[in-house]
Protein backbone atom coordinates (compact mmCIF):
# COMPACT_ATOMS: atom_id res chain seq x y z
CA UNK A 1 0.00 0.00 0.00
CA UNK A 2 2.83 2.42 0.87
CA UNK A 3 4.52 1.72 -2.48
CA UNK A 4 1.33 2.44 -4.39
CA UNK A 5 0.80 5.65 -2.44
CA UNK A 6 4.43 6.73 -3.01
CA UNK A 7 4.13 6.02 -6.73
CA UNK A 8 0.89 8.01 -6.89
CA UNK A 9 2.53 10.95 -5.13
CA UNK A 10 5.50 10.87 -7.52
CA UNK A 11 3.20 10.66 -10.51
CA UNK A 12 1.10 13.58 -9.24
CA UNK A 13 4.25 15.63 -8.59
CA UNK A 14 5.48 14.93 -12.10
CA UNK A 15 2.22 16.12 -13.65
CA UNK A 16 2.18 19.17 -11.43
CA UNK A 17 5.75 20.20 -12.34
CA UNK A 18 5.63 19.42 -16.07
CA UNK A 19 3.72 22.60 -17.09
CA UNK A 20 6.09 24.75 -15.04
CA UNK A 21 9.14 23.15 -16.65
CA UNK A 22 7.67 23.58 -20.13
CA UNK A 23 6.81 27.20 -19.39
CA UNK A 24 10.37 27.87 -18.21
CA UNK A 25 11.75 26.47 -21.48
CA UNK A 26 9.33 28.58 -23.53
CA UNK A 27 10.35 31.82 -21.76
CA UNK A 28 13.37 32.36 -24.02
CA UNK A 29 12.99 35.82 -25.60
CA UNK A 30 12.28 36.05 -29.29
CA UNK A 31 14.80 37.96 -31.42
CA UNK A 32 12.46 40.98 -31.41
CA UNK A 33 12.13 40.82 -27.62
CA UNK A 34 15.92 40.62 -27.30
CA UNK A 35 16.30 43.59 -29.66
CA UNK A 36 13.77 45.54 -27.55
CA UNK A 37 15.76 44.73 -24.41
CA UNK A 38 19.05 45.81 -26.04
CA UNK A 39 17.56 49.01 -27.48
CA UNK A 40 16.04 49.92 -24.12
CA UNK A 41 19.41 49.39 -22.44
CA UNK A 42 21.14 51.58 -25.04
CA UNK A 43 18.53 54.34 -24.69
CA UNK A 44 18.86 54.23 -20.91
CA UNK A 45 22.67 54.36 -21.11
CA UNK A 46 22.43 57.41 -23.39
CA UNK A 47 19.87 58.94 -20.99
CA UNK A 48 17.44 59.65 -23.84
CA UNK A 49 13.99 61.02 -23.03
CA UNK A 50 10.82 62.06 -24.86
CA UNK A 51 10.86 62.44 -28.62
CA UNK A 52 14.60 61.81 -28.80
CA UNK A 53 14.12 58.42 -27.12
CA UNK A 54 11.11 57.62 -29.31
CA UNK A 55 13.11 58.38 -32.45
CA UNK A 56 16.08 56.35 -31.23
CA UNK A 57 13.89 53.36 -30.34
CA UNK A 58 12.14 53.44 -33.72
CA UNK A 59 15.46 53.35 -35.55
CA UNK A 60 17.01 50.84 -33.21
CA UNK A 61 14.12 48.39 -33.40
CA UNK A 62 14.03 48.57 -37.19
CA UNK A 63 17.77 47.84 -37.33
CA UNK A 64 18.69 51.15 -38.96
CA UNK A 65 20.75 52.27 -35.97
CA UNK A 66 23.00 49.23 -36.30
CA UNK A 67 23.63 49.90 -40.00
CA UNK A 68 24.43 53.56 -39.33
CA UNK A 69 26.68 52.60 -36.42
CA UNK A 70 28.61 50.15 -38.64
CA UNK A 71 29.05 52.74 -41.39
CA UNK A 72 30.22 55.33 -38.87
CA UNK A 73 32.69 52.86 -37.41
CA UNK A 74 34.15 52.11 -40.84
CA UNK A 75 34.58 55.83 -41.54
CA UNK A 76 36.16 56.34 -38.14
CA UNK A 77 38.60 53.49 -38.78
CA UNK A 78 39.54 55.05 -42.11
CA UNK A 79 40.08 58.41 -40.42
CA UNK A 80 42.34 56.80 -37.80
CA UNK A 81 44.42 55.07 -40.49
CA UNK A 82 44.78 58.26 -42.52
CA UNK A 83 45.75 60.25 -39.42
CA UNK A 84 48.38 57.65 -38.54
CA UNK A 85 49.82 57.79 -42.06
CA UNK A 86 49.91 61.59 -42.04
CA UNK A 87 51.65 61.56 -38.67
CA UNK A 88 54.21 58.98 -39.86
CA UNK A 89 54.95 61.14 -42.91
CA UNK A 90 55.16 64.20 -40.62
CA UNK A 91 52.83 66.21 -42.84
CA UNK A 92 51.73 69.68 -41.76
CA UNK A 93 49.39 72.40 -42.99
CA UNK A 94 48.23 72.31 -46.60
CA UNK A 95 50.19 69.13 -47.37
CA UNK A 96 48.43 67.31 -44.54
CA UNK A 97 45.05 68.66 -45.59
CA UNK A 98 45.55 67.51 -49.20
CA UNK A 99 46.83 64.11 -48.07
CA UNK A 100 43.90 63.59 -45.68
CA UNK A 101 41.38 64.57 -48.37
CA UNK A 102 42.87 62.14 -50.86
CA UNK A 103 43.27 59.38 -48.27
CA UNK A 104 39.66 59.62 -47.10
CA UNK A 105 38.31 59.52 -50.65
CA UNK A 106 40.03 56.19 -51.37
Give the tens place of pLDDT for each residue, 40-59.
888 888 888 898 888 888 88
The alpha carbon of 1 is separated from its chain's Cα centroid by a whole number of angstroms, namely 59
If you average pLDDT over residues 1-25, what whole number do you get? 63
CA-based Rg of the chain, rounded to a whole angstrom? 29
Give the tens place of pLDDT for each residue, 92-102.
999 999 999 99
For 106, what's the count of Cα atoms within 13 Å in the CB-facing half-sphere? 8
- Mean pLDDT (the chain) is 79
- For the whole model, what pTM was predicted? 0.39
* Most confident region among 19-23, 61-65, 68-72 by mean pLDDT: 61-65
End-to-end CA distance of the chain: 86
Give the tens place of pLDDT for each residue, 69-89.
655 677 888 888 898 999 999
What does 42-102 look like in DSSP terms, one character per residue?
Answer: HHHHTT--HHHHHHHHHHHHHTHHHHHHHHHHHHHHHHHHHHHHHHHTT--HHHHHHHHHH
pLDDT at 10 over 70: no
d(CA 103, CA 90): 15
- Predicted pLDDT at 95: 94
If you average pLDDT over residues 28-35, what whole number do you get? 85
Amino acid sequence: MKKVFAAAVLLAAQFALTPQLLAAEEKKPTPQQQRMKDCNADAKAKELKGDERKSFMKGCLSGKQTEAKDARSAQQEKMKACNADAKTKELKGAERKAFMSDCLKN
